[in-house]
Homo-oligomer: A and B are copies of this chain.
Amino acid sequence: MPPLEAYKRQLPYTYALGLYPAIQALELVPDQVSRVLVHHKLTGEGAQALYAACERLNIRTEQAERLLKRVSGKDNCYAAAVCRKEQHALDPSCNHLVLVNPMDAGNLGTILRSALGFSYLDIALITPCADSFEPSVIRASMGAVFSLRVKEFASFDAYEEQAGARAMHPFMLSDKALPLQEVVKQKQNPHSLIFGNEGSGLPASFIQVGQPVMIEQSRAVDSLNLAVSAALGMYSFLVR
């Protein structure tokens, strides 16, 4: 086995950094965890839970202070699960969240956390985009990424080919856009909620993929934060 490296996108594995994320990885995706790194300063109830889970699952723990420092960039990271990266096929019978070129890792993590909270378990990412396996995304998602089916597509067309028949809703400013509260009154399942890049939003061509939606807001702001917009969309479709 080659030595572990600091995370980068082309590696076949990633790290759940920190005690809580490592325990979550062991609970949610035990088949993907190859080993767990620990620091000699790791103590307490959480540490016992981590060791117990590793023993039950027959996963090797390894004291590795320098490696933890190298992969986390921090002196106070006391545990990490080394996880094989796996993309999952989306379920064509479920509702999807589609993010076109999301570039901010923190935003992406927050969106994945909201998606799990609102039961959107299938996430399509259109590249180029932030890396959903990056340790900071895993952390910002509070481990939600381990409970979701996340898949990257090279284009929206490539996504559409695999998505199955469904209602599509691009969130965008347009003369043809209807207010979110109007659209949810006629919601159909399965559906896809589609959001563009943090800065530029969706290209105008997305008007053609389905009924465009706009979130009701004051003219005093140009737009809302992407993680906020995505949460408002998913929540409104869920509770209607």
| Chain A interface (Cβ < 8 Å from any Cβ of B) | 106, 110, 113-114, 116-119, 142, 144, 147, 180-181, 215-218, 220-222, 224-225, 227-228, 231-232, 235, 238-239
In the bound complex, do residue B225 and residue A113 qualify as a contact, i.e. CB atoms below 8 Å apart? yes
Picked from B114, B215, B221, B239, the residue with its CB within 8 Å of the CB of A181 is: B239
**Complex A-B, nearest 8 residue pairs according to Cβ-Cβ distance, in ascending order:** A117-B217, A117-B221, A228-B231, A110-B225, A119-B218, A116-B220, A181-B239, A116-B221
**This chain's copy number in the assembly:** 2
In the bound complex, do residue B106 and residue A224 qualify as a contact, i.e. CB atoms below 8 Å apart? no
What residue of chain B has the Cβ atom nearest to residue A110's Cβ?
B225
What residue of chain B has the Cβ atom nearest to residue A222's Cβ?
B142
**What residues of chain B lie closer than 8 Å to A235, measured between beta carbons?**
215-216, 232
What residue of chain B has the Cβ atom nearest to residue A224's Cβ?
B117
**What residues of chain B lie closer than 8 Å to A218, measured between beta carbons?**
116-119
Contact A220-B181, Cβ < 8 Å, known A114-B225, A114-B228, A231-B231: no
**What residues of chain B lie closer than 8 Å to A224, measured between beta carbons?**
113-114, 117, 231
In the bound complex, do residue A217 and residue B118 qualify as a contact, i.e. CB atoms below 8 Å apart? yes
**What residues of chain B lie closer than 8 Å to A116, measured between beta carbons?**
218, 220-221
User: How far does the alpha carbon of A118 sit from the alpha carbon of B110 in the complex, in Å?
Assistant: 21
User: How far does the alpha carbon of A221 sit from the alpha carbon of B106 in the complex, in Å?
Assistant: 17
Q: How far is the CB of A121 from chain B (nearest CB, A)?
A: 9
User: How far does the alpha carbon of A173 sit from the alpha carbon of B231 in the complex, in Å?
Assistant: 19
What residue of chain B has the Cβ atom nearest to residue A219's Cβ?
B117
Count chain B CB atoms within 10 A of each CB in A215, A218, A222 and give the residue with the most.
A218
User: How far does the alpha carbon of A69 sit from the alpha carbon of B116 in the complex, in Å?
Assistant: 42
User: How far does the alpha carbon of A216 sit from the alpha carbon of B227 in the complex, in Å?
Assistant: 17
User: How far does the alpha carbon of A59 sit from the alpha carbon of B146 in the complex, in Å?
Assistant: 54
Q: How far is the CB of A238 from chain B (nearest CB, A)?
A: 7
User: How far does the alpha carbon of A110 sit from the alpha carbon of B106 in the complex, in Å?
Assistant: 13
Count chain B CB atoms within 10 A of each CB in A110, A116, A147, A220 and give the residue with the most.
A220
User: How far does the alpha carbon of A222 sit from the alpha carbon of B181 in the complex, in Å?
Assistant: 27
User: How far does the alpha carbon of A215 sit from the alpha carbon of B222 in the complex, in Å?
Assistant: 26
Instruction: Contacts A113-B225, A116-B220, A118-B218 known; list 12 others, CB within 8 Å.
Output: A106-B106, A110-B225, A114-B228, A116-B218, A117-B217, A117-B220, A117-B224, A118-B217, A144-B221, A181-B239, A228-B231, A231-B232
